[in-house]
Amino acid sequence: MSPAPVIIAVDGRSGAGKTTLAVELAARLRAHRKVSLFHLEDIYPGWDGLAAGIERYVTTVLTPLSRGEAAAWTSWDWENHYDGDARVTLPAEIVIVEGVGAAAEAARPLIDAVVWAESPDDVRRTRALDRDGATFEPHWDRWAAQEDEWLGRDDVPGHADLRVQNLADGSAPSDVLQLLPYLPALAPTLAPELSARLGLRLHAERVDAAPDAPALFQSLYGASANAVWLDSSNAGTGGYDASDPAERTAAGRSRFSIMADDGGTFGQSVTHRSGVSRISAGSCTAKVPGPFFRWLDSVWGRRAVRTPEGYPGEFTLGWLGCLGYELKRETGGSDVSAPTPDAALIFAGRAVVLDHAEGAAWLLALEAPDAGEWLARTRAAVQTAAAVAGPTAEAGGSTGVVPSPPPAFRSRDTGAGYREKIAAAQHEIAQGNTYEVCLTTTLEARIPAGSLDPWSTYLALRRRNPAPFASYLRLGDVAVASTSPERFLKIASDGGMRAEPIKGTRRRAADPEEDSRLRTDLATSLKDRAENIMIVDLLRNDLSHFAEPGSVTVSRLCAIESYATVHQMVSTIDAQLLPGAPRAEAVAACFPAGSMTGAPKISTMAILDRLEAGPRGLYSGAIGYFSLNGAADLAVAIRTLALNTAGDGTVELSLGVGGAITSDSVPDEEYEEIRTKAYGVLSTLGATFPEA
């Protein structure tokens, strides 16, 4: 008797390519361990024997193998239509069972992972008959009827851990092997495959050119279903005083922009909703239950590549995308569901990084068979986009986005209702339940699909309101257009941590004297300073959970930074990560951003759930990257428009706005502040703040 093996079932209807997939998986897995392979077609008792074959397989093959015992079973003689010879399948470290019914309901309790292979009906029939010829053709319909009956009562695809669209182009085995190590039941056994990811080699190539960024993104990723542009859109806008430390810090945030998709050998994407992550690679999608930050810890935080010599950036490929506010369920908040994903990321095995300070583009690619072709194509695209760059270049060629008619936004709260919630928040403060409540509301509009182009919308927003943490994300059915000025959390590859909360906002004015008065008013406001300092204290605590003792410092307190449409009060908190500390947990300890909750965080989030009475979605979550060298840089998702494509031919636009409520807050002033914050996005769309 051997130790119990790990059992992988490869199931699917006839002609889905299960046998080829299973044989190839077994061959590749044998590189590191012993693998045993069993085919159900050897045990079905005839052309009417699907149900009986499944029963025989579970009883005589799967049950003993799951105990680590040899399985003695009787084969079926397809020529003589009777029982054949006796056979034995030996246990091994990994057992792959393959065939229609391999993951049937009676088998699933004994199986560690279910792979469901699927192909279009016409492809399946052609593939099956090409393989088995005249033997199978007279029986195709009767066998298919048995499959229909079985699947009608047993939803095997719905229970699959991994589903693969088997295109018969040779890609399925590699795609499956990319995702199998993510399954918790297989991770210990597939440790060699996971370890191989820590030995990746990164190619970095500098191109001395300053391309027009929108033109380059559109050229490289305009047709990509999943693509991310972390866009320091205020780079080169000037206006920074190099003698002012606060403004030097602000300028430093705008040095790099990153653009990538999930194409190529290593490309993957993940979407997390309500405790389940769905990871896709090529033709495959894996379903992994469990908390998102636990999954993130399994794929990020350990240094997998070296930063190339001469490369000045922190991003060395990895995961990029967004985290929604509702991930707070994992960090002390309650469980609320949202229409948008709780997290959506792509893994980029190749990317372009624009260094705005040096006027250069860096091409980054993990070594792979398709890396050379991508580098050549991208090098040419950078040069082409550089040729059109300049002060007269139109960003992406767009001239405007206002649809006709403009979107009619509705607000979750009326003006009177929002003011009542402010009073309720102040009552909680008076009761000693919180010190500060970051109360938000949501503006929404439903429009016909195709009436508003997300890409053109983002280009218009970035022209109107350039920001250091602007971003454009296209992630399946969700698009995000953000002009965020606020950093949530940065973790450098050497473990340096930084948070830069914004609390305190004033509008910009066209008249210089009025604009200066507004800036001074913000700088001298006791209320705004109190808001900011409370959040600074909260973030000092958040960072301290995984920081070296004594390393938490406040290097800037209540500095004023000016952007295209607002003046804002910003502070900077720094710390040093404990050596060996789990970086994903360090991010979770700070999530969601304290500037979007209030203080103390957990009790205030509970108050916000009661007051807001609805999900925030992506708003007040985070947007950024998790790099292969252990670095991360995340912005707070504010000034952010989410576009969620529904299945009914419409798109739901969502814009969150809010402000910090203290005991000194004046309801009318707080309501005016959220109108000011919404103005930049709404006016770009030709829309107005809903009055009610």
Write the pLDDT tens digit of every residue in 65-97: 999 999 999 999 988 889 999 999 999 999 999
The CA-to-CA distance between both ends of the chain, in Å, stands at 74
Q: Cα–Cα distance between 536 and 575 in angstroms, integer?
A: 13
pLDDT confidence bin for 132, thresholds 50/70/90: low
Contact 576, 551 (CB under 8 A): yes
677 assigned to active site: no
pLDDT the model gives residue 2: 65
Q: Which residue among the candidates 118, 444, 486, 500 is catalytic per the annotation?
A: 486
Pick the more confident residue, 243 or 594.
594
Q: Looking at 503, 531, 561, 677, which residue is catalytic? A: 503
Predicted TM-score of the model (pTM): 0.93
Q: What share of the chain is helix, strand, coil (3-state, %, to 5)?
A: 35, 30, 35
CA dihedral 206, 357, 257, 674 (to 10 degrees): 180
* CA–CA separation, 213 and 216 (whole Å): 5
Share of the chain above pLDDT 90, in %: 80
Alpha helices (runs of H) in 276-324, residue ranges in sequence order: 292-299
Of 69, 183, 51, residue with least CA distance to 107: 51
- The larger pLDDT score, comparing residue 390 to residue 216, is at 216
What whole-number distance in Å separates Cα of residue 414 and Cα of residue 190? 55
| Residue 389: per-residue pLDDT | 76
pLDDT band at 1 (very low <50, low <70, confident <90, very high): low
Q: Is 612 a catalytic residue?
A: no
Q: Is 494's pLDDT higher than 70?
A: yes
Could you please report the per-residue DSSP string of 111-149? -SEEEEEE--HHHHHHHHHHHHGGGTGGGHHHHHHHHHH
Q: Does the pLDDT of residue 497 top 80, yes or no?
A: yes
